[in-house]
Structure 1
Amino acid sequence: MEKIIWEYILVFILAAIPWIEIAAVIPLAILKGLNPFLVALLSFAGNFFTVFLLIVLFERFQEWRRKRKGAEEKETGRSKRGKEIWNRYGLPGLALAGPILIGTHIAAAIGMGLGAKKQWTTLWMTISLVLWSGIFAVASHFGFDFFRG
């Protein structure tokens, strides 16, 4: 029983780590045989926890980053992709595409960096994470069942 509890704690922790994301954690945990509902719930909670911290502490982070790197900042491929999504679809598009294309943490940071308000960023990231957690859980559960026979 204790081993199972640690597996669920690990799901929460891995989902909270940027770049691992729910898109990897949920299918792997379900493939391992963990409960799809609990996996989706804990993955959402873990990922949301660090995204929410990023949103809340963004101004401080941005100021620290400016001091550390200077005024000029080189644009990465992910940030370019994020800005293209932002320009075309706004914050909702960025938040909804984030888990698949650039990662939730990067999507939140780009949205905040482009002037989105904390409340709207939090709302749209929450909607996105709930939606994608459900999609990944259902698709993984039924997809693995289909291939198992």
Structure 2
Amino acid sequence: MFEYFLVFLGAAIPWLEIALVIPLGIVSGLSPVWVMILAFVGNLLTVLFLIIAFQKVKAWLESRKKKDGKGDSKRTERGKRVWNKYGMPGLALLGPIVIGTHIAAFIGLLFGASKVNTTIWMTISIAIWTLVFGIATAMGFDFFVKNA
């Protein structure tokens, strides 16, 4: 039981994440299904926390900008629309293997992705990579154990 808690906790920590925790959990003999579920939930919860916290800071900064009377230019608004339409899916899907899910979410929000868009794409990405890491590890581990 404690080992499964460590899987959950490891997936929640930004530098460990699902790419390391899932293979380690499965290779150590834990149930692949439970490792994948707990790693997904652990990683997603901390990413959601990051998204919520970022939005509060962003709202505070925007309220200060409005008090100063400065708004975004038309060019900035158009850039944000393009980023929200195409940028977040690519960042979210590559993030877990390139820079990590937490950093990918932070960068997306920093570049202007909406909270909803970031949440949707990060959830999809974490789910896909959880399945990829889990299935590949379980199948590969089974292959080596059966053929040893």
2:89 — aligned with what?
92
2:132 — aligned with what?
135
Q: Is the 8 A contact 2:95 2:104 kept in 1?
A: yes
Letter in 2 for 1:136: F
2:72 — aligned with what?
none
Q: CA deviation at 1:90?
A: 0.9
Letter in 1 for 2:129: W
Q: CA deviation at 1:145?
A: 1.2
Aligned pairs for 1:1-149 (under 5 A) are 5-60=1-56, 90-148=87-145, 149=147
Aligned residues: 123
TM-score, scaled to structure 2: 0.78
Name segments (4+ residues, structure 1) moved above 2 Å. 59-64
Q: CA deviation at 1:59?
A: 3.5
Q: CA deviation at 1:23?
A: 0.3
SS in 1 for 2:15: coil
Instruction: Give the Cα separation in 2 of the matches to 1:61 and 1:41.
Output: 31
Letter in 1 for 2:102: H
Instruction: Give the Cα separation in 1 of the matches to 2:10 and 2:107.
Output: 22
Q: CA deviation at 1:61?
A: 5.2
CA RMSD of aligned residues (A): 1.8
Instruction: Give the Cα separation in 2 of the matches to 1:30 and 1:115.
Output: 37
Percent of aligned positions with the same letter in both sequences? 57
**What are the superposed Cα offsets for residues 56-105 of structure 1, whole Å, 9 maximum, x if unpaired?**
110345679xxxxxxxxxxxxxxxxxxxxx7xx51001000010000000
